[in-house]
Amino acid sequence: MTTTRLAGVVTPVVTPFKSDLAPDPQRYLRHCQWLLAHGCAGLAVFGTNSEANSMSADERMVLLEQIVQGGVPADKLMPGTGTCALTDTVRLTRHALALGCSGVLMLPPFYYKGVSDEGLYRSFAEVIERVGDKRLRVYLYHIPPVSQVGISLALIERLLARYPGIVAGIKDSSGDWNNTQALLDAFAKSGFDVFAGSEVFLLQTMRAGGVGCITATANVNPEAIDRAYRGWQSADAERMQADISATRSVLHKYPMVAALKATIAHFARDPSWATVRPPLVELTPGQSGALVAELTSRRFDMPGVGA
């Protein structure tokens, strides 16, 4: 992995599926390229909103190879590699490293609940030791509302002490600003990169020493979020923050993955983009129509998407 670290707006790329629910590498590559051309500094492929955990390790590795072969620069990629299974996580992480990815975004093992920090420390340490490559950059993925298994400050402190440089940062999707603030206060000065888990906390995160946001809504609204990122010290910062938060709140009225895909389907004029894998369910036509109407009333657009 490179020594240049990602910063700015990173998005967990939604994964297009064909009608038989197989991943669609062509649509996927086009969307990755569109995102990089429209404000995304990096792509956290295989995140929560990518339906990554609804795919096998092999499906994920094939897709990653396809986009790299298709021309997506590997140093823009931060694939999700954390799974329930130690051996899958090691395999996916090694694969990402071999392809030259900038880093990996690593969920803790999330099947067992109420596990100890000691157990989580051993999980991350075992993966890092097995991969055994100092070029590895691990971004911890803290998303307790979904994983139900969180990453505490004490765990991060222990990992940073043992693996400085390798443990590179965190995506905080707790939805709790107090936690992001605590992470920034504790670790930002030492070079640990804190990404807000959504653009709602982008301005606050930048002001407190963070490096950007990793946010699902950048799948559809990357330019405005990138402007807010670049302009965080400008006089216009509060207005830009309010604008991107308002757009997010429109999407957030619906289940996020389905809403993102419905939005892309509409603006790309490609209904097949709406397909999700079970257990997720696509929006109803009524929901899609209401979502698009509200976005359009805000002059929202996705110029060139899907082309």
Binding site for a second copy (CB under 8 A): 21, 48, 53-57, 59, 84-88, 91, 108-113, 115-116, 118-120, 122-123, 126, 145-149, 277-281
Torsional class of 78: left (φ above 0), alpha (ψ -120 to 50), beta (otherwise): beta
Q: Is the CB of 49 or the CB of 102 nearer to a second copy?
A: 49
Q: Compute the least distance from the CB of residue 25 to a second copy, in Å.
A: 15
Q: Is the CB of 114 or the CB of 303 nearer to a second copy?
A: 114
Alpha-carbon distance 266 to 212, whole Å? 28
Alpha-carbon distance 153 to 182, whole Å? 8
Q: Is the CB of 146 or the CB of 182 nearer to a second copy?
A: 146
Please provide the distance, in angstroms rounded to a whole number, between the alpha carbons at the two ends of the chain.
31
Query: Pairing state of beta strands 42-43 and 167-172?
Result: unpaired
Residue environment code for 174-202, b if the CB has 16+ CB neighbours within 10 A, otherwise e: beeeebbbebbebbbeeebbbbbbbbbbb
Q: Is the CB of 92 or the CB of 101 nearer to a second copy?
A: 92
Q: Compute the least distance from the CB of residue 110 to a second copy, in Å.
A: 7
Q: Compute the least distance from the CB of residue 166 to a second copy, in Å.
A: 17
Q: Compute the least distance from the CB of residue 145 to a second copy, in Å.
A: 7
Q: Is the CB of 59 or the CB of 75 nearer to a second copy?
A: 59
- Percent helix, strand, coil in the chain (nearest 5)? 50, 10, 40
Q: Compute the least distance from the CB of residue 255 to a second copy, in Å.
A: 9
